[in-house]
Chains A and B, each alone.
Chain A
Amino acid sequence: MALIGVIGAGVMGVGVAQNLAQTGHDVVLVDKDEQILKEALETIARNARMSRLMGGPALDADEILSRITTSVGVGGAAEAEVVIENVTENWEVKRAVHEELDKVCGPDTVFVVNTSAIPITKMASITQRPDKVVGVHFMNPVPAKPACELIPGFHTSTETVERTRDLLKAMGKKAIDVKDACGFVSNRVLMLTVNEAAYLVHEGVATAESVDEVFRSCFGHPMGPLETADLIGVDTILYSVEVLYEHYADSKYRPCPLLKQMTDAGLHGRKSGRGFYTYN
């Protein structure tokens, strides 16, 4: 089985590495920090243990971990046929990683950019292999989500897209084709929905409870937009809306003042104990 490089051992990288290993792939998990890699393996073991409880398959944590090696620095991914990059959603950080990968990896290695925001064409432009760079927007938690967005850049070859689609299929994922545009489909629609829901609370049209109740009870969504905002992080939502606003220079993406105020006030959602709702 071909070696897959997973770059970045944060939440997304850990999920991608686990998903690959539990579907029989050999993985090298790369980060710049030894301690983060150690914690990543512990998280994967814990997640594997939890799999059945989430309605997933019964997983053998030892078997999964036996397929994952770790490496400090991207040199460990030199032999990989495909690398999936999951570092911080920040252009400068991603740029530096892709420049390094481009030097280290063989000319045929496909670079998958896991992002919800960074344009794939722009990312590909800093490598010498724009035909082999493709975007995939994985959803969190990766092993539990049945689908993802697959985003070719301007120069991405059909072969690269199909190789990536095959890999995603082997991971148990349906790839949904989306063109390269800031926010793709998921964030364009979700962030506007959350932003508009925040406006409704801001204007006093409805309480957060009522907004979410409409989505849960009338539309059958498992969660309303403001519960979702608390889960993702109110600050992250604001940041994402601001990215769309700046990118498209379109006033329909203007961030709701309530999101700004909540972010300034430290009401970041579940992770801070309070957002649109209060958590113990």
Chain B
Amino acid sequence: MSNTAQGQILDFVRGRFPQAELDAAQDIFALGFVNSLFAMELVMFVEKTFGVTIPNDELRIDNFRTADSMAELVDRLARVAA
């Protein structure tokens, strides 16, 4: 398991799609990996793991395209909360 937010998110996505070779900059929406079930799991994973609540207006595809963009979102929300 990785310790960085980006690494933890990437581990989670790789765990769900073990047959794919993914890196942190790859667009998982463009790869066709995200169905509604997985999107929900992803949001719940991010909220639970990092103790943040994602506001509705941040639930946009652009914030969830890559492990990098999700880590940025977590960072931004953590700063707002701090």
Contacts and interface: CB of A to CB of B under 8 A. Distances in A.
Nearest to A213: B19
Given A141-B36, A141-B37, A222-B32, A50 B59 contact: yes
Interface string B50-68: 0000001001110010000
Interface residues of A, number: 21
Nearest to B12: A280
A223 interface: yes
Nearest to A221: B32
A55 interface: yes
A257 B56 CA distance: 47
Contact of A50 (B19, B32, B36): B36
Interface string B19-48: 100000000000010111101100100000
Contacts of B18: 277-279
B53 to A, nearest CB: 11
A53 B32 contact: no
B57 to A, nearest CB: 9
Contact of B39 (A54, A209, A231, A280): A54
B19 A53 contact: no
Interface in B1-30: 11-12, 15-16, 18-19
B23 to A, nearest CB: 18
B59 A52 contact: yes
Nearest to B18: A277
A144 interface: yes
A163 interface: no
B13 to A, nearest CB: 10
A144 B40 contact: no
A14 to B, nearest CB: 12
Contacts of B34: 54
Contacts of A52: 56, 59-61
Central interface residue in B18, B34, B40, B61, by most chain A CB within 10 Å: B40
A52 B34 CA distance: 13
A50 B32 CA distance: 17
A264 B61 CA distance: 39
B16 A280 contact: yes
B33 to A, nearest CB: 9
B40 A212 contact: no
Contacts of B36: 47, 50, 54, 141, 144
Given A46-B40, A49-B59, A50-B59, 7 more contacts: A50-B43, A52-B61, A53-B60, A54-B36, A141-B37, A227-B19, A278-B18
Interface of B: 11-12, 15-16, 18-19, 32, 34-37, 39-40, 43, 56, 59-61, 64
Q: Closest 5 A-B residue pairs measured CB to CB?
A: A280-B15, A222-B32, A141-B36, A53-B59, A54-B36
14 contacts: A50-B36, A50-B43, A52-B56, A52-B60, A52-B61, A53-B43, A53-B59, A53-B60, A54-B36, A54-B39, A208-B19, A227-B19, A278-B18, A279-B18
